[in-house]
Amino acid sequence: MSARAFFLELPLPFSEGVELQERLVEARARGDIPDTVLFLEHAPVVTLGARGRTEHLKLSRDELAARGIELAPASRGGDVTYHGPGQLVMYPILKLGEREADAHGYLFNLEEVGLRTAADFGVQAWRRPGLNGIWTEAGKLAAIGFRIRRWVTMHGMSFNVDPDLGGFQAIFPCGLREPVTSLRALLGGRCPALSAVRDRMAVHFGAVFQRPLAVRGGNPMP
């Protein structure tokens, strides 16, 4: 079973990313498109997931706006997080089979993709019991939040390659008082280009989810 991958090159406003995903989810549920995975960056935004609480924001909406950061609700699970240029975001739109339709198993597989990607660049990372995402000795490297509706997935993983980590100073990421890190912070001048990380993540996604990705250009909608 294969899937399509689309590499969106310009940072996308979060609202446009959500709208695109919603359209893809509906198309996938109808069977109009195959499984599809989006790889992209977002313009600076703080998002509040289903469990997000405003007390986990350190700045008001106006203060965020003054820094060029949008504040937006998100239909994914989880709490509050930050997205911005230099962060690789992966959004799988998958129709799960009966043996796959388990949120814990899906989370485990997303984490496995992130762990294998980090290892490709010499970064030792791991899971933490009771906490989702990808962790290193310097802090959290990748955050995961998703939604499964009618057996179709939405949202996914954000992996910090070379973002402005100052954006995370505006929040308690995922409601935690834990540091956030990036490949740039961990590797310095050896930090790979975002495109190199994206390419490796696409390979690992195909292997972990048993859906080899065929990269396509143009519009992901039919």
Instruction: Look up tokens 């090159």; give the residue.
Output: 9
Whether 191 is covered by a domain: the verdict is yes
Local structure of 199: helix, strand or coil: helix
C-alpha torsion sign, points 68, 74, 76, 81: positive
Q: pLDDT-based confidence at 170, cuts 50/70/90?
A: confident
Mean pLDDT of 80-101: 91
Distances (CA, A) of 32 to 147, 172, 182: 20, 40, 37
Q: pLDDT-based confidence at 54, cuts 50/70/90?
A: low
pLDDT at residue 103, as a whole number = 87
Whether 107 is covered by a domain: the verdict is yes
Whether 222 is covered by a domain: the verdict is no
Active site residues: 174
Mean pLDDT of 144-155: 92
Local structure of 189: helix, strand or coil: helix
Whether 219 is covered by a domain: the verdict is no
pLDDT at residue 73, as a whole number = 78
Tally of domains in the chain? 1
- What CATH number is given to the structural domain containing 118? 3.30.930.10
Residue predicted with more confidence, 54 or 10 = 10
Whether 221 is covered by a domain: the verdict is no
Backbone angles phi, psi at 58, to 5 degrees: -90, -20
Helix (H) or strand (E) holding 192: none
pLDDT at residue 175, as a whole number = 61
Q: pLDDT-based confidence at 174, cuts 50/70/90?
A: low
Instruction: Look up tokens 């313009």; give the residue.
Output: 43
Mean pLDDT of 79-98: 93
Task: Identify the domain containing residue 39 by its residue range.
Answer: 3-212
Q: pLDDT-based confidence at 75, cuts 50/70/90?
A: confident
Model confidence pTM above 0.75 = yes
Cα separation of the two ends of the chain? 19
User: Which among 68, 70, 88 is positioned nearest to 16, based on CA atoms?
Assistant: 70
Encode 108-145: b = buried (16+ Cβ within 10 Å), e = exposed: ebbbbbbbbbbebbebebebeeeebbbbbeebbbbbbb
- pLDDT at residue 52 above 60? no
Token pair for 212 = 């080899």
Whether 218 is covered by a domain: the verdict is no
- pLDDT at residue 164 above 70? yes
CB atoms within 10 A of CB 68: 11
Whether 62 is covered by a domain: the verdict is yes
Q: What is the 3-state secondary structure (H, E, C) of 158-179?
A: EEECCCCHHHHHHECHHHCCCC
pLDDT at residue 50, as a whole number = 60
pLDDT at residue 35, as a whole number = 97
Question: What distance in Å separates the CA atoms of residue 131 and residue 137, rounded to the nearest whole number?
Answer: 15
pLDDT digits (tens, 9 = 90+) for 11-49: 999 999 999 999 999 999 999 999 999 999 999 999 887
> Are the beta carbons of 181 and 101 closer than 8 angstroms?
no
Distances (CA, A) of 136 to 127, 141, 142: 9, 7, 10
Q: pLDDT-based confidence at 122, cuts 50/70/90?
A: very high
Whether 147 is covered by a domain: the verdict is yes
The pLDDT mean for the chain works out to 91
